[in-house]
Amino acid sequence: MNDLLLRTLRGQDTERRPLWIMRQAGRYLPEYRALRERFSFEELCARPDLAAEVTLMPINRFPLDAAIVFADIMSPISALGINVEFAPGPVINKPLRSKAAVQALSIPTQDEIAPTVLETVRLVKKELSGRVPVLGFTGGPWTLAAYLVQGRGVRDFPALRALAIDKPRVLTELLERLTALSSSYLKGQVESGVDAVQIFETWSGVLSVSDWSLLVKPHLENLLENVGQLGVPCILFMQNATHLLAEMTTLSADGFSVDWRVDMAELRQSLGPQKILQGNLDPAILLAGPESTSRAARRLLQDIPPVGHIVNLGHGILPQTPMESVEALIGVVHSEVQECSRTSASAGEEV
Ligand code: 1CP
């Protein structure tokens, strides 16, 4: 198996940096758009055969180093007895804002949580037969709560922040339930075959350092502790959270995925060589075409040393991204190994 990603997450040396792309199984792919003409997003998610097909689309087109299972962060939420619609992002018709609403949530068994996603994982594992590792994922408790409380993705999630201030105990109970949900969901994914997992705590950045540390960090810590017992490495992603970096990187994740606002050289410098970092090209750079993408990718590779670095974007790839930009990014990452081996080959000749 191409185990560059897994070896990097274990802190081992690799012949080159691994590369995968957040939201790589999505709307920038013509073959995905073609399938979406025939099926809604919900239909794709409900059919493991189709979800597996979409998971494999980017792997069949590009030499990427991991497949991420096609699902949404809200996929496990229906197991709580909550109906989620997509337009195109998640929409909850009756947002949760009271103690009674939180206490009325179902407490699902592991088997009841997103069984179609688990079936998708099993199909993907079989079809890949070891070509690349499969990444599972879940939403972080705060990011799942963001949609449940706010009702949909809204800039800065004011209703969520209001609940955090007004009814911190209600929020805490919700975060505890979501942490339990994500823990069981990831356990199901690992039992179905995923090789590593990522926690998408996308909306953590809307809180101050002190509120995040008090309200959210303990739940993430619990989730990471539970994941730690599953025997697969775990990456934690936070977005627009530069102010939380110092706190974030004390958590027990194996890898830390940061967005493009973060200076990678500075972060590597401040954390030392041991921590595994993932990121962080600005997804918008890919819209500027292959030359701009190559330049930015080369700069990123110069900014931090290869060991302990997983190349990725700073957030999901944008729907308008040209295929040539993805190819350019891959070209730069792959050519680093050729440069390294040329150097070692010529060094060998001299001896
Ligand atoms: O085809 C379509 O129009 C549906 C769009 C779509 C897709 C392709 C949504 C709705 N979700 C997804 C898939 C998805 N979502 C994946 C699968 C793997 C992949 O695409 O490679 C993953 C990992 C996610 C994760 C996700 N969904 C996050 C965390 C990562 C991130 O981008 O920050 C979040 C915040 C969501 C919410 C969501 N779901 C969909 C959209 C458009 C959004 C974001 C916008 C919003 O909040 O309204």
Please say whether the beta carbons of 232 and 194 come within 8 A.
Answer: yes
Residue 71 CA, closest ligand 1 atom number: 17
Closest Cα partner for 141 from 275, 236, 228, 231? 236
Q: What is the pLDDT of residue 337?
A: 79
Domains of the chain and CATH, by start: 4-350 (3.20.20.210)
Distance, CA 227 to ligand 1 centroid (Å)? 22
List the end-to-end C-alpha distance of the chain, in Å, as a whole number.
33
Contact partners, residue 303, CB within 8 Å, separation at least 6: 263, 264, 265, 268
Matching residue, tokens 């440069």: 339
Catalytic residues: 23, 27, 36, 72, 147
Angstrom distance (rounded) from CA 187 to CA 28 = 30
β-bridge mates for residue 86, sequence order? 90
Q: For 239-288, how does the pLDDT look when each residue is reduced to its tens digit (9 = 90+)?
A: 999 999 999 999 999 999 999 999 999 999 999 999 999 999 999 999 99
Residue 266: other Cβ atoms inside 10 A: 12
Residue type, 177: R
23 Cα nearest atom in ligand 1? 21
Task: List ligand 1's pocket residues with C-beta within 6 A.
Answer: 23-27, 36, 41, 68, 70-73, 86, 88-90, 137, 153, 200, 202, 239, 315-316
Tokens describing residue 218? 């303990």
pLDDT in tens, 85-131: 999 999 999 999 999 999 999 999 999 999 999 999 999 999 999 99
Distance of CA 309 to the CA centre of its chain: 15
Spatial distance between the Cα atoms of 257 and 288, rounded to a whole number of angstroms = 23
Q: Which atom of ligand 1 is nearest to the CA of 86?
A: 10
- Give yes or no for a contact between 29 and 57, defined as CB atoms under 8 angstroms apart: yes
193: its two tokens: 């075959």
Half-sphere exposure of 113 (CA within 13 A, CB side): 23
CA of 340 to the centre of ligand 1 (A): 36
Note the pLDDT of residue 339.
Answer: 66
Q: What 8-state DSSP symbol labels residue 17?
A: -
Q: Which of 23, 75, 92, 198 to mutate to test the pocket of ligand 1 (most atoms within 8 A of CB)?
A: 23
3-state secondary structure at position 85: strand
Decide: 106 and 124 in contact? Cβ < 8 Å. Answer: no
Tokens of 243: 């102010």
**Centre of ligand 1 from the C-alpha of residue 75, in Å:** 10
- Per-10-residue mean pLDDT of the chain, 351 residues long, equals 96 96 96 97 96 98 98 98 96 96 97 98 97 98 98 97 96 98 98 98 97 97 98 98 97 98 97 96 98 98 96 98 98 85 50 35
Cα–Cα distance for residue pair 266/268, rounded to 1 Å: 5
Distance CA 309, CA 118 (A): 29
Sequence-ordered list of residues with C-beta below 8 angstroms from that of 159, at least 6 positions apart, any chain: 95, 97, 149, 150, 151
In this prediction the pTM is: 0.95
Q: Give, for 198, the enclosing helix (H) or strand (E).
A: strand 196-201
Q: Where are the alpha helices (DSSP H) in 212-320?
A: 217-228, 245-248, 264-271, 283-287, 290-303
Whole-number Å distance between alpha carbons of 316 and 302 = 23
State both tokens at 326.
């993805």
HSE-CB for 109 with a 13 A CA cutoff = 1
> Does the CA dihedral 267-269-271-273 come out positive or negative?
positive
Residue 278 phi, psi (nearest 5):
-125, 135
